[in-house]
Amino acid sequence: MSEAVTIQDPRPLGPVAYLLCLRGIMWREALRFLHQRERFVAALVRPLVWLFVFAAGFRAVLGVSIIPPYETYVLYEVYITPGLVAMVQLFNGMQSSLSMVYDREMGSMRTLLVSPFPRGFLLISKLLAGVAVSLLQVYVFLAVTWFWDVQPPLIGYFAVLPALILSGMMLGALGMLLSSGIKQLENFAGIMNFVIFPMFFASSALYPLWRMNEASPLLYNICVLNPFTYAVELIRFSLHGQINWLALAVVAGCTAVFLGAAILAYNPSKGLIARRGGPGG
């Protein structure tokens, strides 16, 4: 009996152990990111292309109506910046979570998943690591946009931090949930087509919702149901030092649901992984 106890629980895991584990996961994610310089460049170039090329062509489109949180007319560049910030997080969340597929293939994930830490803690650590990387990408992007005359109030740069953490968690958790159902990394193209693009385009990232409603009520309803819309609005309001409570509630709720589902899916005894037996046997 006592022997069994020592095998199962050699010593209780203290907070230090948890922190050590978190640090390890974050450090791994950071190293992976830093070693993939193209990924950083890509993460930055993608929204900048939107800003410099797409937004420049649409400069005159907006500026006919003032919608909160703006107190005056804004240029299109100013309008789409929060959407592009969310896009950075969307790509990063998907990439980071889908790297789980790679990790599973390579075996390093399996090592991690059999560690004595609770599965939920491991997944949250992994999510936080991904969010930390996205924060770096977002702040570099915001720094560049500042020179493009997208200059939110100074306080916005601080206020947006918690919003970014939450929206990053939501998008990462969604990616994690999806990754549990994906066998191979090649499926990222599918994720692009079926998750990233629809989420990005059918949201308030590129056009305000009233515009969508004028164009097509159906599209408007899709946008309203899209959690990504709320991530964008949460970021938009916080970047102007305000809180959009509805967006906050939706993003927090979706984070909880996606995370819960992901933890369930990664549960070896119940989740999707168990059912399929995992990749490569």
Partner 1 sequence: MTWPKIMAGALAPLALAAAAAFGGISEVKAFSVYVSNEKDNTISVIDSESLKVVKTLKVGQRPRGILLTQDGSQLLVCASDDDTVQVIDVKTWEFVKELPSGPDPELFILHPSGNPLYIANEDDNLVTVVDIENNKVLAEVPVGVEPEGMGISPDGRVLVNTSETTNMAHFIDTETFEIVGNVLVDSRPRFAEFTADGSQVWVTSEIGGTVSVIDPIAREIIKKIGFEIPGVRPEAIQPVGVRITKDGGRAFVALGPANRVAVVDAKTFEVEKYLLVGQRVWQLAFAPDESLLFTTNGVSNDVSVIDVARLKVVKSIAVGRFPWGLTVSKD
Binding-site ranges for partner 1 (CB under 8 A): 56-57, 59-60, 63-64, 66, 71-75, 151, 153-155, 241
**Cα-to-chain-centroid distance, residue 139:** 14
Any idea of the CA torsion for 180, 181, 186, 192, to the nearest 10 degrees?
A: -90
- Minimum separation from the CB atom of position 74 to partner 1 (A): 7
Q: Alpha-carbon distance 173 to 97, whole Å? A: 8
Q: H helices of 36-73, where? A: 37-49, 55-57
Q: 3-state DSSP call for residue 116?
A: coil
Phi, psi angles (nearest 5°) of residue 122: -65, -45
Rounded Cα gap, residues 18 and 171, in angstroms: 24
CB of 69 to partner 1, least distance (A): 12
Least CB distance to partner 1 at residue 147 (A): 14
* Location of structure tokens 């995992």: 278
Least CB distance to partner 1 at residue 127 (A): 28
Closest CB 155 distance from partner 1, rounded Å: 4
Cβ of residue 149: shortest distance to partner 1, in angstroms?
9
Looking at beta carbons only, is 159 or 173 nearer to partner 1?
A: 159
Nearer to partner 1, 155 or 218 (CB): 155
Q: What is the DSSP letter of 186?
A: G
Query: What is the rounded CA–CA span in Å between residue 169 and residue 32?
Result: 19
Cβ atoms 214, 133 nearer than 8 A: no
**Residue closer to partner 1, measured from CB, 28 or 211:** 211
